[in-house]
Structure 1
Amino acid sequence: MMEMMRAVAVLAANDVRVVDDVPKPVPGEYEALVRVHACGICSGTDSQIIAGTLETGFGGYPTVLGHEGAGEVIALGSKVRNIRIGERFIHPNLYPDAGNGYTKTHGSMAQFGLVCDRDAMREDGFAEEHIPFPKQHKFPNSISYIDAGVLLSLAECHSAAKNFGAGSGMEILVYGAGPMGIALAMFCKLRGAKTVVQIDSVSARLEQAKAVAKVDETINFAEENVSEVLNNRKFDLVMDAVGFTSILYEGSGYLKPGGKVCSLGVLKKDDRLIDTSRLQCNTSLHMLNFPYGEYRIMDDTIAMIESGKVNPKDFYSHVLPYDQLEEAFQLVREKKALKVILTFDN
């Protein structure tokens, strides 16, 4: 008889709930079963899947949420030889057809998931396109499961700062002071940026940006006129960590000649067309709405955590059991939480 598990699923637009009829994954011969302990809620992707505004990478309703999961290996397939029982992984996954009518986008908000011994499959002659679950990574026991619920977000922002070209002596303007915006600003400073200015409308988040990212200045656009505060100042890079084309147009106006406006926030499906005539002349547009290189930079990100340069606890404010799902997403929607981590240990 097929064994079921509990999971967080979106059944239709704006209908998210805990369900108990998702098939528990059975590991194949090159796969390992992971018990999920925690999963971060992504205020960008997860929220858009729930709202029905995500166009790219969406599996279709009903779908199991979650790409920021963290768990431990509890069982091994017969040909697994590079993964051990008890090892910790982020992004345990499900197959696109998760069973019983469910898809996955991306499936980490469940009691169990899978990772793959990709090296063993390569060694045994499998072509890369036939090896599942490319987005997975071990993390050390020194990082708790709850802290690991923000590890992927941190690596995404670390890779974004690198991809956007943040570097020594630069002046950078960042729109958005959610966990991604603050992490992006922090990695820009760690990469040597001379000045980082951060814009948001939530005072507590701007204070967090000062404390964590050590930004040089903040602007609360709910209380201040951004243009007046900046007073014709220009920047090498302007970064949108929110996800609106209107920010790209506005931010372009604050660029130095040859500067770059950078899009990190996930654009909604009805806000994806960009009129380049509205961007300032002699500037560039860098689209990075979905991460690139986040797993290649993961070990460096983990090293920064272990050395004390980065503290994952600075990027989440609430930890709730998954059965308090409604409260968790309400905190996210109302911006009363910086980030919420769901736990599956009960």
Structure 2
Amino acid sequence: MTKTMKAVAVTGPNKVKIVHDVPVPECTDYEVLLKIHYCGFCNGSDLNIIRGTLSEEEGMQPYPTILGHEGTGEVVDVGKKVRYIKKGDRFIHNNLRPDVGNGYSKTYGGMAEYGLAADHKAMLEDGFTTGELPFYKKFHQVPRDFDFKHGAMLLSLSESLSAARNFGVGPGKDVLIFGAGPMGTAVATYCRMLGAASVVMVDGQEDRLENAVRVAKVCGTVNFLKQDVSGALAGKLFDVAIDAVGLSSVVIQASQYLKPYGVVGSMGVLKNNDLLVDVSRLKNNTRLHMLNFPYGEYDVMDENIRYIQEGKVRPEDYYSHILPLEEIEKAMDMVIRREALKVLLKIAE
């Protein structure tokens, strides 16, 4: 008889619940089974999945679908041909297969009691090609003493570091960021670490702006609900302007504050009814860099792990609440109401 587990399922637009009939995946020869301890709730993708506003191109699968892509756990079982992974090893971004079983799909399947990773090194040694590797660049091993809560933040933090690099942030650059949520604040942190001359943050929530000053050491803030953005910036122009909100209107607005040849970076998750950017409204002689799909995040994870171990980056600065998995609806409501910066869901001890 197939063992089952609890997971978070989205059963329709704005309908999310805990289900207990999701099959526990069985690891094949080169796979390992992970017991999941925490999973982050993504303020962008997860909300769009729940609302039904994530596009198919970004991975949306039919309802009912298992939610989550920020899980972290430890190996509890290994396939018979696994050589380089042992029980007790820790990983982030657990996986389920596309056909989860019992009628469930996955988008992206991390909010479950168990998940999968694979021994890619052994597979390559045994003659498999990169294209045959399961879950390629969809998980990453972390040190055995790496805090599971830190693991639940590592993907978001690495997406933010890679975004700052992809947008060309470096020494002497002036950067403007719209959105002081967890991703915007993390991007601001890495912009400063990469040597940006100045980083200015725009948001409508004062406590988030204050957090950005404390955590990312941004040089200035603008509360657009209390201030006119153009007036507050007083003519200052930027090399890079980043939309960390996920609105095409913000992409257009951000471009207006660029220097000639400047880059407006779109990294917020655009909704499926807001996918068109009228490029005629972008500021002349500027460039649009679309990054709604993260790129290169797995390439910087070991670097980010070092930053965390050295205390240069504190994952706890980018989330505000930890709730049990069973309180997924409360977590969702807190994020929608902006009462939480970010929520981690606790799945197991």
What residue number does 2:60 align with? 58
For 2:116, the aligned partner's letter is L
The reply on whether 1:145 has 2:125 as its aligned counterpart is: no
Q: Deviations over 1:139-189 (max 9, x none)?
A: 113421112111100000000011111010111100000000000000000
Offset of residue 233 of structure 1? 1.3
Residue 193 of structure 1: CA displacement? 0.3
For the Cα contact (< 8 Å) 2:8–2:18, is it kept in 1? yes
In structure 2, the partner of 1:27 is 27
Structure 2 partner of 1:290: 293
Measure, in 1, the Cα distance between the counterparts of 2:143 and 2:227: 44
**TM-score, with structure 1 as normaliser:** 0.99
Q: Is the 8 A contact 2:88 2:144 kept in 1?
A: no
Please say if residues 256 and 283 of structure 2, whose CA atoms lie closer than 8 Å, have aligned partners that are also in contact: yes
Matched, 1:85 2:87: yes
The alpha carbon displacement at 1:23 in A equals: 0.4
Query: Counterparts of 2:251 and 2:118 in 1: how far apart (Å)?
Result: 39
Distance 2:167 2:308 in 1: 22
Shift of 1:15: 0.4
CA distance, structure 2, for counterparts of residue 48 and residue 185 of structure 1:
24
Aligned to 1:245: 248
Matches of 2:291 and 2:128, distance apart in 1: 30
Q: Secondary structure of the residue that 2:222 maps to in structure 1?
A: strand
Structure 2, unmatched stretches of 5+, are none
* Paired residues of 2:175 and 2:238 also in contact (CA < 8 A): yes
1:279 maps onto 2:286 in alignment: no
Name the % identity: 51
Map of 1:39 onto structure 2: 39
Greater CA drift, 233-242 or 139-148: 139-148
CA distance in 1, matches of 2:116, 2:303: 24
Q: Distance in 2 between matches of 1:333 and 1:137?
A: 29
Separation in 2, partners of 1:325, 1:105:
16
1:72 is the counterpart of 2:93: no
Distance 1:312 1:326 in 2: 23
Aligned to 1:2: 2
Match of 2:327 among 324, 327, 335: 324
1:115 aligned partner, one-letter code? A
Separation (CA, whole Å) in 2 of partners of 1:131 and 1:95: 13
Given candidates 222, 226, 229, the residue that maps to 2:229 is 226
Q: CA deviation at 1:329?
A: 1.0
Write the mapping of 1:85-234 to structure 2, written as runs, cut at 5 A: 85-134=87-136, 135-234=138-237
Is 2:248–2:275's contact at 8 Å kept on the other side of the alignment?
A: yes
Q: Which ranges of structure 1 fall in alignment gaps of 5 or more residues? A: none
| Letter matched to residue 341 of structure 2 | L
How far off is 1:309 after superposition? 0.5
Cα distance in 2 for partners of 1:335, 1:21 equals 32
Q: Aligned partners of 1:149 and 1:105: how far apart in 2?
A: 17
Q: Counterparts of 1:143 and 1:157 in 2: how far apart (Å)? A: 20
Query: Which residue of 2 is the match for residue 333 of structure 1?
Result: 336
Of 66-75 and 134-143, deviating more is 134-143
Counterpart residue identity of residue 13, structure 1: P
Structure-2-length-normalised TM-score: 0.98
SS of alignment partner, residue 100 of structure 2: strand
Which secondary structure does the structure 2 equivalent of 1:150 belong to?
Answer: helix
Q: Provide, for residues 267-307 of structure 1, a one-character-per-residue CA deviation record: whole Å limited to 9, x for no partner.
A: 11111111111111111000000100000010001111111
Q: Over residues 124-150 of structure 1, what are the superposed CA-to-partner deviations in whole Å (9 max), with x where a residue is unaligned?
A: 111222211111101113421112111
Deviations 1:90-140 (A, max 9, x none): 001000000011011111100000001111111111122221111110111
- Aligned-partner residue type, residue 147 of structure 1: H
Q: Bigger shift: 67-76 or 269-278?
A: 269-278
Q: Aligned partners of 1:143, 1:314: CA distance in 2, in Å?
A: 17
Q: 1:142, 1:88 → 2: CA distance?
A: 8
C-alpha distance in 1, partners of 2:331/2:83?
A: 38
Q: Partners of 1:126 and 1:59 in 2: how far apart?
A: 28
Corresponding pairs, count: 346
Q: Distance in 1 between matches of 2:70 and 2:6?
A: 17
CA apart distance, 1:86: 0.2
1:307 and 2:310 are equivalent in the alignment: yes
CA distance in 2, matches of 1:189, 1:306: 19
Amino acid at match of 1:104: K
For the residue of structure 2 that corresponds to 1:64, the secondary structure is strand
